[in-house]
Structure 1
Amino acid sequence: MKYFLIIILLFNSFAFSQKKNDTDSITKLNEVLLYQKVNNRHINGIVPLSIIDIQSFKNSSPSELSAHLNNISGVYVLSGALNTNRITIRGVGSRTPYGTDKVRLYYNDIPVTNGSGFSTIEAYDLENLNAIEIIKGPKGTAFGANLGGAIVLRPNETLDKVTAFQNNFTVGSYGLIKNNLSFNHKTDKLSLDLRYGHLNVDGFRENNQYKRNGILLNTAYAINAKSKLSLLVNHIDYTAHIASSIDLDTFNDDPSQAAFTWKLAKGYEANTYTLTGFSMVHKFTQKLSNTTSVFYTHLDHYEPRPFNILDETTNGYGLRTQFKGNFYFNKRVTNYTFGAEVYKDDYNWSTFENLYEENNDAGSLQGTALSFNKEKRNQFNAFGTLTYSFTDGFSAQLGVAINKTSYNYKDLFNRDSENKSGKRSFDAIVLPNLQLNYNFVKNQLLYVNISKGYSNPSLEETLTPEGVINPNIAQETGINYELGSQLQFLNNKLKLNTTIYQMNIKNMLVAQRIDDDQYIGKNAGSTKHQGFELDINYNYLMSPKLKLMPTISYSYSNHKFVEFIDNDVNYSGNPLTGVPKHRINTNVQFQWLSGLSLNTAHTYVSSIPLTDANTISSASYNLLNITIGYRKQFSNSLSFETRIGVQNVTNTNYAQSVLINASSFGGRAPRYYYPGAPINYYGSLQLRYCL
């Protein structure tokens, strides 16, 4: 019955995100065409990448970033809350307890992954983005060559000469209020985008409130025909209460409950985050150009947890430069790129006693200091590519990246023999990359990629159980083999993209939990990531006034431990923890010329192994979301758009995120599950006025 339901929903549910290489996404408002360009700038080389464009963002709640990423085959986001997201790409990063690592994150080509490899995608407002570009696997030579790949966030940019105000207001279930106000201005030389965003939601669980305010400035000035200066400032301030994970009985009986101790402590995190980037693009000649950016990030984080209170600040700064050029070889154009990226950050953190049990049910109360630490983290990446077309249809790209990472950890709390200060500098690692691209007929493409990637251990993973630097822990490394195709049929109305891959990873990093907030790392074996990805996109004009656009995205993940022995227990051959074997996203979108649209999205996620022994798994689930929209162009100056959405239409009780290998403390059952919200509603109203 379950599989019959899946088949029915595959052909009858409706529409959304897609993998594509189109250069323009066109929104039609009556007789007026508004263009939001998403340029595939081959940031990934000569093989395709996945793009989520601005139109796709409108097919779900503007507060749910994870829903959009999960529509990309091979990408899976486990979202415990708006402030707790773990992005996995082809299974890489699935064993990280909290947050996202092994995937490098960029904001308009500025690296925003911190020095230990962690990325916080929830720090960026979805409504401020024009597109999200996703590189799956280590083939992004110029973007770090991380095993999981890279995600590039593209902020909105004003493309036409216009001065405009726009406001989008959203309300919804569980106290959801979101507003995004923007001012756009563009002339021949100046481009300016200024935005203010506010988000407040109570959440469906106890101790689940979330409040965020943010300001974005994205401006550019063309000095002359050869040079352009850009300034990017993104500042957010948010407070998120933490419900944490729950055990199976609570998940089945009342998933709205918070974890017992987190509720008593009224646990939360408060963050202020600022990114400032200054860039210059200069065209030396018709055959050589350069883009150079300098950037600074600041994070102030305060988090009362039941077991202690964490107070930390991070100051990061760096430089990225990239040259692009071409020359003729054997009467054919040969393209090349080369550049480097330097990133340094200073991480300071302290922990304190949490005296919430002595605070008369008022929640967390800071007590005496337990630790005071400082760490300096340095990363250097150099990269280069050379692309040559042997024929009009066959081209190759050879790339190489080099990474050098070091940590300098200082224990400022303990003295003499108890002091745990130490340094760890990893050897430089060379990461080659070969890409082949063959267009055998027009719009029919085959490609091959062989690339090497790496992942650095986090600070916690470099420490021994005694808390000192472990000189023996090594970086994860892996080789990725990938074969794909992009085929088009029926006058390019039907697009079929397929990929098969295998990634062999050795020196697998294992985070072993030894206390509430204490993990140690070790290299415990190897994994094999095999998979198949399918994306189908069909654009069918049913009548002059009605367009039908069905899409299907499917991910098959056959990921296993090749060799893994932990605490004398052999897990070799078991499926990789934290990865669903099957995921299906089935969508169909109807668009009427009148401005009306209907969008329905179905998602199926198979069971997920929760322990390395595969003795416990989460239940598979189906989700159905529906969005109805209407847009109207009143005049050349004024436009209007409204959307109403229903999420989790069938009111399914499902785990939106899971915690693998959860431990039990104090005789309590292990807490594996972060429940997703039951049926909920939202409505948005957008007004745009052009002067």
Structure 2
Amino acid sequence: MLPNLIKLLTGLILFCSFGLWGQLVKNDTLTRLDEVILTEEVIPKKAIGITPSSTVGTATFERFNPVDVPSAINQISGVYVLSGALNTNRITIRGVGARTPFGTDKLRLYFNGIPVTNGTGFSTIEAFDLENLGSLEVIKGPKGTAYGTNLGGAILLNTKLAQEGRTRLVNNFTAGSFNMFKNNVSFSHQEKGFGIKVSYNHLETDGFRQNNRFSRDGVLLNSNVALSAKSTLGVVINYIDYTAQIPSSLGETDFREDPRRAAANWLAARGFEANRYTLAGLYHNYQLSDQLKNTTSIFYTYLDHDEQRPFNILEEITNGFGFRSMFEGKLGKAEYVLGGEIYKDEYEWGIFRNLFRDNNGNGSLRGDQISENKEFRTQLNLFGTFTYPITTQFSVQAGLNFNQTEYDFRDLFNTGDANTSAERNFDAIFLPSLGLSYSFTNGRLYANLSRGFSNPSLEETLTPDGIINPDIAQETGTSYELGGQVRIFRKRLLLQATLYRMDINNLLVAQRVGEDQFIGRNAGETRHQGLELDVKYRWAISKEMLLTPYVSYTLNDHSFVDFVDGDDDFSGNPLTGVPKNRINSGVDVAHTAGFRLSLTHQYVDEISLTDANTLRSEAFNVFNARLNYRTPIGNRFTLGLNFGVNNVFNSRFAQSVLINAVGFGGSEPRYFYPGNDLNYYGGVRLTYRL
């Protein structure tokens, strides 16, 4: 069935491409425009040394609606984003993080080299506007020694400044279905010794479902100045203010009959979350000598979060402080990196009763306070890598990461014997990595052996009674990876393949014991093994047109090796929350007349929803299309137009799922977050170059 599906998709994509573009090739007088790039993007690699990574850039982002961050990330094999809403994204890498109920953990997120993952390991990708990014790089698994060695890996977000000697003012306006409106205006200037980019973005949409409205404003400032020939000082400020209604998940009946519905209790409470997030960082680059340079950053993060939920109201404030410094040097033919980062945050939260049932249908109403807490969290990472070229073709890289994590929990609500204040300090852990790389004509082979870890989340460190769980331990795992890439047929065809296996011990399980109550525990061992395959072909049909079909395939063979839950033995069952097969395919067609057509497709296999493997989601296919046109207007202006269609065949599918859902009060368990039905968008981009 799967091979037939691939053949069908490839044929459909090629047929549509030739049919739509056949009319455009007839004009022989078309000339090449500077705004149309018919070669691959050159994106600087941030991963250290020979560490393998996968990167997508603006060409990938422009295949999709600018609010659709998950689809852009899902182009990377081995990475899957489950998206319940614009504010509810869960990123999994090679199955790691799939058991997390809400949000993204077990990986580290960096923005322009600054760590933005909080003290318990949670990352918020929706705090960053896709239109402000120049690239997104993923290090899969724990091999990124300089980026935390988390079992899931690391994601590196980077903004893009103007080219040297350029000044640009850009306004990008997009409107679409569900009353969606988005505008991003940016100013960028780059000259020798100074660069700056300032952008403001606004987004609002009613959403596909009931109680699904989203509104966001954001500001980004990124600037650098050369203090001398050897010294550069930079600043980055990212501010996001958004309010998002929460429709929550649905049971199977509502998902099939009316996926636009919100969960009844969330609709009655008019549940929502409001966030104000600030990142402020100062970084300094210094070239100490021809053989040694240093990059140091200090940073501050602030989050003010208010969440009106039917079971209670959560109010929280997080203040985070950090420091990161990295030395990169050479010793003869060898290269080395030494550095460290420390992150401390203060997390304050209070929980209040929600009296929405007594509020005459007007939604949430804050009642009495039932808890007040504060937690101090510290995480220290020290790291080093040493890369040595044994020959001109063969290199070896050794790395070591040291992690120390401490939690200090304060109960500010209860007194005397009822007070639950406690400390939880995890044992220091050393995490080695060994990598090999062999380069040959038009390609290379690589292998990696590395150790990684994941800290328990806040919910997993505390019992439902708010007491520190002294028995919870960090997840640890060993990753084995073998891969390679090659360019053949005059470098037109790119083939990349990776085989991996990761054995994880002390699996962290968040067991749901109430509507908003979880208890964490360690539950045995999982085995993550799989294949990642990427194929891309660049075909110059003529001097004016380039056709680029591609396929990305992920095989996830993930299972519980040893998992006993009370009287139930789930050993041997597939890992919950992970599709076994996933395909992303598509074709880009670029023409020197300024046109670019992108047809994309995603196939997601069924997902096991319970540890007992008694219920699975349905497999689905989703097709999207986007047409871009860009042309100069005079010497200084460029006009860009785009139109896109998402879910072309109006498929019903679950864009995210909850695992091991439990029904309360006789209600049906709510496993499913419906994806949007057929929808449209279009945009206008105006660029002014000084």
Length-normalised TM-score, structure 2: 0.96
The secondary structure found in structure 2 opposite 1:612 is coil
Moved over 4 A (4+): 33-38
Match in the other structure for 2:24: none
Q: 1:290 to 1:432 in 2, by over 3 A?
A: same
Structure 1 gaps, min length 5: 17-27
1:602 Cα shift? Answer: 1.0
1:186 Cα shift? Answer: 1.7
1:56 Cα shift? Answer: 1.2
1:674 Cα shift? Answer: 0.1
Residue by residue over 1:605-625, the C-alpha shift from the partner in whole angstroms, topping out at 9 and shown as x without a partner, is: 100000000000000000000
The secondary structure found in structure 2 opposite 1:471 is coil
Of 238, 244, 249, the match for 2:248: 244
Partner Cα distance (2:11, 2:109) in 1: 35
Partner Cα distance (1:335, 1:166) in 2: 40
- Write the mapping of 1:150-169 to structure 2, written as runs, cut at 5 A: 150-169=154-173
Contact 2:382–2:403, Cα closer than 8 Å, also in 1: yes
Match in the other structure for 2:576: 577
Partner Cα distance (1:195, 1:425) in 2: 41
The secondary structure found in structure 2 opposite 1:661 is coil
Partner Cα distance (2:113, 2:646) in 1: 33
Q: Percent identity?
A: 51
Contact 1:45–1:140, Cα closer than 8 Å, also in 2: no
**What amino acid is the match of 1:494?**
L
Of 85, 100, 111, the match for 1:96: 100
Of 276, 280, 292, the match for 1:276: 280
Alignment of 1:264 with 2:249, yes or no, is no
Structure 2 gaps, min length 5: 18-29
- Write the mapping of 1:299-378 to structure 2, written as runs, cut at 5 A: 299-328=303-332, 333-378=333-378
Match in the other structure for 1:21: none
Partner Cα distance (1:460, 1:29) in 2: 59
Alignment of 1:294 with 2:298, yes or no, is yes
Match in the other structure for 1:613: 612
Match in the other structure for 1:23: none
- Write the mapping of 1:501-512 to structure 2, written as runs, cut at 5 A: 501-512=500-511
How much is the aligned-residue C-alpha RMSD, in angstroms?
A: 1.5
Partner Cα distance (2:31, 2:643) in 1: 18
**What amino acid is the match of 2:260?**
S
Match in the other structure for 1:46: 50
1:473 Cα shift? Answer: 1.2
Residue by residue over 1:14-73, the C-alpha shift from the partner in whole angstroms, topping out at 9 and shown as x without a partner, is: 799xxxxxxxxxxx9933257896543351430321111111111000001001111110
**What amino acid is the match of 1:30?**
R
Partner Cα distance (1:459, 1:681) in 2: 39
Match in the other structure for 2:32: 30
Contact 2:43–2:135, Cα closer than 8 Å, also in 1: no
Q: 142-151 or 182-191, which moves further after superposition?
A: 182-191
The secondary structure found in structure 2 opposite 1:101 is coil
Match in the other structure for 2:680: 681
| Number of aligned residue pairs | 675
**What amino acid is the match of 1:400?**
L
Alignment of 1:231 with 2:235, yes or no, is yes
**What amino acid is the match of 1:527?**
T
Match in the other structure for 2:26: none
Q: 1:621 to 1:66 in 2, by over 3 A?
A: same
Q: 1:374 to 1:38 in 2, by over 3 A?
A: farther
Q: 1:466 to 1:367 in 2, by over 3 A?
A: closer
Contact 1:29–1:632, Cα closer than 8 Å, also in 2: no
1:2 Cα shift? Answer: 7.8
Partner Cα distance (1:240, 1:393) in 2: 52
Alignment of 1:204 with 2:203, yes or no, is no
**What amino acid is the match of 2:85?**
A
Match in the other structure for 1:437: 437
1:589 Cα shift? Answer: 1.2
Partner Cα distance (2:31, 2:576) in 1: 46
1:462 Cα shift? Answer: 1.5
Residue by residue over 1:91-138, the C-alpha shift from the partner in whole angstroms, topping out at 9 and shown as x without a partner, is: 000000000000110001100000010000001000010000000000
Partner Cα distance (1:13, 1:37) in 2: 23
Residue by residue over 1:438-490, the C-alpha shift from the partner in whole angstroms, topping out at 9 and shown as x without a partner, is: 01x21221000000000000122112354311222110000000000111101
**What amino acid is the match of 1:253?**
E
The secondary structure found in structure 1 opposite 2:484 is strand
Alignment of 1:397 with 2:397, yes or no, is yes
**What amino acid is the match of 1:408?**
D
Partner Cα distance (2:35, 2:253) in 1: 53
Contact 2:344–2:377, Cα closer than 8 Å, also in 1: yes
Partner Cα distance (2:174, 2:456) in 1: 40
Q: 1:183 to 1:335 in 2, by over 3 A?
A: same
Match in the other structure for 1:105: 109
The secondary structure found in structure 2 opposite 1:32 is coil
Match in the other structure for 1:407: 407
Q: 1:349 to 1:38 in 2, by over 3 A?
A: farther
**What amino acid is the match of 1:268?**
F
**What amino acid is the match of 1:251?**
F
The secondary structure found in structure 2 opposite 1:119 is coil
Match in the other structure for 1:136: 140
1:3 Cα shift? Answer: 6.3
Partner Cα distance (2:95, 2:586) in 1: 24
The secondary structure found in structure 2 opposite 1:668 is coil
Q: 1:165 to 1:40 in 2, by over 3 A?
A: closer
Contact 2:36–2:592, Cα closer than 8 Å, also in 1: no
Match in the other structure for 1:19: none
Partner Cα distance (1:490, 1:361) in 2: 66
Length-normalised TM-score, structure 1: 0.96
- Write the mapping of 1:513-552 to structure 2, written as runs, cut at 5 A: 513-552=512-551
Contact 1:267–1:363, Cα closer than 8 Å, also in 2: yes
Contact 1:6–1:604, Cα closer than 8 Å, also in 2: no
Residue by residue over 1:645-672, the C-alpha shift from the partner in whole angstroms, topping out at 9 and shown as x without a partner, is: 0000000010000000001101000000
Match in the other structure for 2:643: 644
Contact 2:33–2:593, Cα closer than 8 Å, also in 1: no
Residue by residue over 1:365-386, the C-alpha shift from the partner in whole angstroms, topping out at 9 and shown as x without a partner, is: 1010010000000000000000
- Write the mapping of 1:566-605 to structure 2, written as runs, cut at 5 A: 566-605=565-604
Match in the other structure for 2:64: 60
Q: 1:101 to 1:653 in 2, by over 3 A?
A: same
Partner Cα distance (2:145, 2:31) in 1: 40
1:7 Cα shift? Answer: 2.6
Residue by residue over 1:226-261, the C-alpha shift from the partner in whole angstroms, topping out at 9 and shown as x without a partner, is: 000000000010000000000000000000000000
Partner Cα distance (1:150, 1:393) in 2: 27
The secondary structure found in structure 2 opposite 1:179 is strand
Residue by residue over 1:178-210, the C-alpha shift from the partner in whole angstroms, topping out at 9 and shown as x without a partner, is: 000001112222101000000000001000000
Contact 1:38–1:131, Cα closer than 8 Å, also in 2: no
The secondary structure found in structure 2 opposite 1:127 is helix
Partner Cα distance (1:362, 1:465) in 2: 29
Partner Cα distance (1:271, 1:466) in 2: 26
1:399 Cα shift? Answer: 0.4
Match in the other structure for 1:669: 668
The secondary structure found in structure 1 opposite 2:563 is strand
Contact 1:138–1:147, Cα closer than 8 Å, also in 2: yes
The secondary structure found in structure 2 opposite 1:408 is strand
The secondary structure found in structure 2 opposite 1:205 is coil
The secondary structure found in structure 1 opposite 2:336 is strand
Match in the other structure for 1:254: 258
Partner Cα distance (2:547, 2:619) in 1: 29
Partner Cα distance (1:2, 1:319) in 2: 48
Contact 1:185–1:191, Cα closer than 8 Å, also in 2: yes
**What amino acid is the match of 1:438?**
Y
